[in-house]
């Protein structure tokens, strides 16, 4: 019998979340961000589930784009970090990819290249995130050079990234938004600005293109949830089963270092899931878990292949009982990945992308097969 740990991927929930993003910005085209193996959900499976809805996909690098093209995906694909060496332009040309440019050397390499057809190019603006992009004062020069290179460049857009769109305080967001709007107006440039939090909560940022990412996978990126983010559905359910039960007397300890101590006679469930599967080792005692669809708590440090849960108040829990680490339990109860992440002092992105390959993904799709 196989180890019971699985990551179930609800492709109908994925489509629901994408349609929400699209409906929030009906005048924009919503590009699907699929980087990092679709945030741990499976790059190709998620792309296929959205191929009939999305006008474009976005990935981090050519290797991810190649996987999509090899799987028969013909949807336009944007490289969010552009190319890393000049010789990658040949592959971008062959695969018909769209590329971001964020550095002078990329501009020079692009202008020296002779593509089979003009490339779609996205000029990255550093509007305040200070990772990638041209400083605002240099954007016009870069834009004019690329706009004049009609053999190399076809469609040309401005793209930038918001640093604080998820926060309740709007000061920094408004500063970035104002700068980008002025640039777009001066250059008469189409833009791609809104990430997931901006898609959900900053309609003034909805431009020619939006690029929802983590929200598509059911995670709420907002510091303060709103009516729209609360409509997101979890896409990944990480679940396992109880494989052993221990009976502890008052005062006995559990796990490495004996961090958790029984304050009463206790029943402890051993669950087949650990940090070797991607469950965060930093999870604190009290991290929520669903056992048979009922809430209880982590008790003791997470081990490589197992973790332990207090089931003292769940007398029906037994060997083989379902354990939901995050997602939707069989009874419909939901434990969000965001709540689990807070107990691990991290964010949902690290939990979802951290689920390791030894955890089998099972895909669920209610659409009839054609």
CB–CB of 198/214 below 8 Å?
A: no
**Alpha helices, DSSP H, located in 128-262:** 136-148, 171-187, 196-201
**CA gap 146, 164 in Å, rounded:** 30
- The catalytically annotated residue of 39, 113, 256, 349 is 256
- Catalytic site residue 275? no
| H/E element, 328 | strand 322-328
Q: Quote the radius of gyration of the chain (alpha carbons, Å).
A: 23
- The catalytically annotated residue of 18, 35, 39, 279 is 35
> At CA 62, angle to CA 355 and CA 59, rounded to 5?
55
CB–CB of 289/324 below 8 Å?
A: yes
- Catalytic site residue 256? yes
Residues of the chain by 3-state class (helix, strand, coil), percent to 5: 30, 25, 45
CB–CB of 215/201 below 8 Å?
A: no
**CA gap 117, 112 in Å, rounded:** 14
**CA gap 35, 213 in Å, rounded:** 9
**CA gap 356, 115 in Å, rounded:** 38
**CA gap 2, 162 in Å, rounded:** 44
CB–CB of 348/225 below 8 Å?
A: no
Map tokens 């559905």 to a residue: 233
CB–CB of 214/221 below 8 Å?
A: yes
**CA gap 170, 172 in Å, rounded:** 6
Which positions are catalytic? 35, 256
């Amino acid at each position: 019998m196989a180890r019971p740990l699985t990551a179930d991927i609800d492709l109908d929930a994925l489509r629901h979340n994408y349609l929400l993003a699209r409906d929030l910005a009906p005048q924009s085209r919503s590009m699907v961000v699929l980087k990092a193996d679709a945030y741990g959900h499976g790059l190709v499976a998620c792309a296929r589930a959205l191929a009939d809805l999305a006008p474009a996909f976005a990935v981090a690098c050519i290797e991810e784009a190649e996987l999509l093209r090899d799987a028969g995906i013909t949807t336009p694909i944007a490289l969010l970090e552009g190319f890393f060496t000049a010789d990658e332009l040949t592959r971008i040309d062959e695969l018909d990819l769209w590329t971001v440019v964020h550095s002078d050397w990329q501009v020079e390499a692009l202008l020296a290249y002779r593509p089979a057809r003009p490339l779609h190019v996205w000029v990255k603006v550093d509007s305040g995130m200070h990772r990638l992009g041209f400083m605002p004062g240099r954007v016009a020069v870069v834009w004019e050079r690329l706009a004049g290179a009609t053999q190399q460049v076809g469609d040309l857009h401005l793209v930038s990234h918001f640093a604080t769109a998820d926060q309740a305080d709007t000061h920094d967001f408004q500063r970035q938004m104002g700068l980008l709007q002025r640039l777009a107006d001066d250059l008469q440039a189409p833009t791609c600005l809104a990430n997931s939090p901006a898609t959900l909560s900053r309609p003034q940022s909805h431009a020619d293109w939006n690029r929802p990412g983590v929200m598509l996978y059911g995670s709420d990126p907002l510091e303060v949830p709103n009516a729209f983010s609360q409509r997101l559905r979890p896409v990944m359910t990480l679940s396992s089963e109880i494989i052993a039960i221990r009976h502890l007397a008052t005062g006995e300890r559990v796990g490495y270092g004996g961090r958790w101590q029984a304050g009463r006679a206790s029943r402890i469930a051993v669950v087949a899931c650990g940090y070797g599967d991607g469950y965060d080792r930093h999870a604190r005692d009290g991290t929520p878990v669903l056992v048979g669809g009922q809430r209880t708590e982590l008790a003791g440090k997470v081990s490589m292949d197992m973790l332990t849960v207090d089931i003292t108040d769940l007398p029906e829990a037994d060997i083989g009982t379902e354990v939901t680490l995050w997602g939707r339990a069989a009874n419909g109860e939901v434990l969000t990945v965001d709540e689990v992440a807070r107990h691990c002092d991290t964010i949902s992105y690290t939990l979802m992308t951290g689920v390791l390959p030894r955890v089998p993904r099972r895909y669920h799709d209610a659409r009839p097969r054609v």
